[in-house]
Amino acid sequence: MVNRCLLALALGGSAGFAVGRCATGPGLGAPAAAGVTPAPFFAGAASIAITPVVRPDGPPIWLAGFGQGRAASGVHDDLFARALVLGSGTHSVAIVALDLIGLFHDEVVRIR
C-alpha cells in the first residue's frame, strides 16, 4: 500500500488525504500471466494551503520579483502544496507541486 507517511510528509505532516485502490481489469492494463495475481495499484492525492499569515504587527513576508525590499501587505490568492503518490506494493513515487518561487538548498536536502 502507498506509504501514507510519505504523503503526509510531502504536505507538511498535517494534511487530510485520500488513498484508494485503483481499479484493475480488462482494458486497464496488461493482462497477468497465467497463475499470477497482479499487484494492487494504489494512488493518493492531497492538497493543503501553505499561505503565510500576513499581519501588520507580524514579521514581514518578503516578495520576489521586480524591486527589492518589498513586504507583502496582504494576500490576494492562497498558495498550495499538492501531492500525488502512486504505488504498486514495493515501489512508490510522489509528485509534489508547490506554489513557490523556489526553495533554499538546505530545505531541498532536508526534503530529500
Residue pLDDT, tens place only, 2-18: 344 444 444 444 444 44
Alpha-carbon distance of 7 to 82, in angstroms, equals 10
Q: Total domain count for the chain?
A: 1
Q: Is residue 25 part of a domain?
A: no
- Helix and strand tally (H, E) in the chain? 2, 4
Residue range of the domain that includes 51: 4-14+42-111
The grid cell for 39 is: 499487484
Smallest CA-to-CA distance from 54 within 75, 69, 81, 80 is with 75
Q: How confident is the model at residue 19 (pLDDT cuts 50, 70, 90)?
A: very low
Q: Is residue 31 part of a domain?
A: no
Whole-model pTM over 0.75: no
Alpha-carbon distance of 64 to 56, in angstroms, equals 19
79 or 30, greater pLDDT: 79
Q: Is residue 52 part of a domain?
A: yes
Share of the chain above pLDDT 70, in %: 71
